[in-house]
Amino acid sequence: MKPDWRKLWKDNKNLVFFIVMLVAFKSSLADWNSVPTGSMKPTIVEGDRILVNKLAYDLKVPLTHIRLMSWGQPVRGDIVVFDSEAEKTRLVKRVVGLPGDTLAMQDNQLFINGALLHYSGLGTDGGYLQATEHLGDTPHAMQVGSGAPSPAGSFGPVTVPPGRFLVLGDNRDNSKDSRYIGFVPRSEIIGRARYVVLSFNYDNYHLPRPGRVFQPLDAADGALRLGRCDRGVRYGA
């Protein structure tokens, strides 16, 4: 007995329409992504589910990187999600260098266009040094190992080419970012991460972390949550 395709369509067209709209929404407007690693600690931790605004910079054809309209560009401090061609996976990092910027790092301290960034609120947490990095008008939390700086803690100077961005993880000694994968093409960036929607503690039976639900990822908020923004301590001093 052959299936009655017309009847199947009639009975299920609303479900099909819903699925199509859901796929279009997730691929073009907004989505959430699971974060399996600690490369963005302390801002984003393992087990966070982050909300990604895919309309932050442009509108793309669903399920593609074809740009239909563009109304903005990533700025310093933005946490962006991108499909890395170099790593063949989706990554989340912080934009540090814009096209045309010249950057260098010495012992985990960043220089942008010759100027050393200011670091304040030095503290320790679980064997890490944590501080607030003042990325222009955008302070945000970052951390490094408490031992000697790693080889990746120094580079440059390098100049960011047109149409590309230099990105770093906030967990500087444990992040595969532009120091390893190179500059990120604008075409790979799919959106901006704005909130932690849910979070599960991988070290405690994957139980939810209620305190991280709908936590904003805006850099200033993250720095202020550490309570270390204005002590005036110079990182590396």
- Give the active site residues: 39, 93
Which residues does 135 contact at the CB level (< 8 Å), separation at least 6? 76, 77, 96, 110, 117, 219
Under a CB-based contact definition with an 8 Å cutoff, are residues 4 and 15 in contact?
Answer: no
Using a 10 angstrom Cβ sphere, with 0-12 exposed, 13-18 middle and 19 or more buried, the burial of residue 170 is: buried
Spatial neighbors of 25 by CB under 8 A, at least 6 apart, are: none
Q: Hey, CA dihedral for 28, 29, 35, 40, is it positive or negative? A: positive
H-state helical runs in the chain: 5-28, 178-181, 219-226
Q: Is there a contact between 58 and 69 (Cβ–Cβ < 8 Å)?
A: yes
From the number of C-beta atoms within 10 Å of its C-beta (0-12, 13-18, 19+), residue 74 rates as: buried
Q: How many residues does the chain have?
A: 237
**What residue spans of 36-195 are helical by DSSP H?**
178-181
